[in-house]
Structure 1
């Protein structure tokens, strides 16, 4: 039985890039959860944050995660999606949650000037590092498997494929 694979981790850890490679290796659909929400809401993430707030966006994430039960997909979640135990449980019900554990400096170099990431764009480096350290613990708690984010996207995808074979994803 094939299940959805949810990729989690800090902003810039490589979820979308790895997701594309893993989806191809597994013969599954690739979905970027933020893009999926933008399509559902007919608004960009920055617009959703500025007009409706982060809490509304998080409720959209929760709803979207639940819509992947029974689908054969690799889903790259947003950086905050798996912070909630409720979201993790919904994702776990639909499939497997994999944490891409990438170091802060690598993530920061990828996100520091990106206006499409409202939290990153409006935070100092120290604020982001504090957020990274707090979130990392939750990613570890709210995932079924951790993969080393310092590997290449192809190597990470191969680990995900191997884990998928072992877990009957």
Structure 2
């Protein structure tokens, strides 16, 4: 039996570390692109989620934007003040608040999607189309493995 301790890996050798660095740089670039539009990445995520489902709950919006429900409330207030969304009670379910995009919100969704595409293209610029598809598949599989409670 060997008593030698395994040599500690350097950060550059850890997939998780490289994933975090990439995510951090992606977020910085996305924040810079979205700042030109006057919105933040969480606001962009909320606008995209509302565009897909105006009856989406605040809890689901928080999950979509990777923020707490308390933070989501502030984001919604700011988006409403900025004229990007309107919120109103559901006509049949009094406790449900519907969130809808204004015309300015619809434009922000389109502009935000374009900004995200620009950043993603830059991130993938050194990969072939096949490598990009493979990376996407591999990341989905890694995420699924971390969700698997049986491991």
Normalising by structure 1, what TM-score?
Answer: 0.24
Look at both structures and tell me which one has the larger radius of gyration over its CA atoms.
2
Higher relative contact order (CA 8 A, sep 6+): 1
Higher-strand-fraction structure? 1
Higher-helix-fraction structure? 2
Normalising by structure 2, what TM-score?
Answer: 0.26
